Chains A and B, each alone.
Chain A
Amino acid sequence: AQSVTQLGSHVSVSEGALVLLRCNYSSSVPPYLFWYVQYPNQGLQLLLKYTTGATLVKGINGFEAEFKKSETSFHLTKPSAHMSDAAEYFCAVIGGGSYIPTFGRGTSLIVHP
């Protein structure tokens, strides 16, 4: 069975500050990992994904994430937060023989002026 833990249901940063959203997973086999973003009253949009290859993955809107197998982590970062980044962010994992992604509970990113 696979699981995803997102530390912190809410993360608050100032505009221009570093964004760090944490995601740890458990999977019995090398996983596929995803980050999605959900803006208010919208569905989820794929930010980035790791399947194989380079462990540092770049996504849209300046976000990137690094797959660290030893730490079973896939944290999402952005060097400088913008007001438009305020949204809900979900980490998801596919692994353990299942083709169905398991999602974390989400982290709400709040950006202060």
Chain B
Amino acid sequence: EAGVTQSPTHLIKTRGQQATLRCSPISGHTSVYWYQQALGLGLQFLLWYDEGEERNRGNFPPRFSGRQFPNYSSELNVNALELEDSALYLCASSTGQAANYGYTFGSGTRLTVV
């Protein structure tokens, strides 16, 4: 069974540009979660998508957005990139509520803003 796949693995962008990160969940998982892991800050929750709808959003500005497609894959878009957006972005998927099942994480996309 394929795990959660994220692409690209590394992304270098210039301040002010836009970045698009992609995530494919495990087959059968309908929920996708995005986290930002910045150095020394642990994991900060960004977005939760389930069945194509945004279900919850973390404390991030609107330039962080995303969507979930009919096949449950997801995109995270970051507009007007700032230097502090440099981080590892992790995608996770689950079936049903994460409480009972836990997350399965991808290996992440390392975004570097220069």
Instruction: Spell out A's residues near B (CB within 8 Å).
Output: 32, 34, 36, 41-46, 49, 51, 90, 94, 98-106
Contact = CB atoms under 8 A, between A and B. Distances in A.
Interface in B81-100: 90, 92, 97-100
Contacts of A104: 42
A99 B97 contact: yes
A31 to B, nearest CB: 9
Contact of B107 (A43, A49, A90, A100): A43
Among B42, B58, B105, B107, the one with the most A-chain Cβ atoms within 10 Å of its Cβ is B42
Q: Which 3 residue pairs are nearest across A and B when measured between Cβ atoms?
A: A43-B105, A105-B42, A103-B43
Contacts of B40: 105
Interface of B: 4, 33, 35, 40-43, 45, 48, 56, 58, 90, 92, 97-100, 102-108
Chain B binding surface SS class: mixed
7 contacts: A36-B105, A41-B107, A42-B108, A46-B104, A90-B42, A101-B45, A104-B42
B17 to A, nearest CB: 24
Contact of B43 (A41, A90, A94): A90
Contacts, number: 55
A42 B108 CA distance: 7
B1 to A, nearest CB: 15
A76 to B, nearest CB: 15
Given A100-B33, A103-B42, A105-B42, A43 B98 contact: no
A105 B107 CA distance: 18
A46 B102 contact: yes
B41 A32 contact: no
Contacts of A51: 99-100
Given A44-B90, A46-B104, A100 B41 contact: no
Contact of A44 (B58, B100, B105): B105
A39 to B, nearest CB: 10
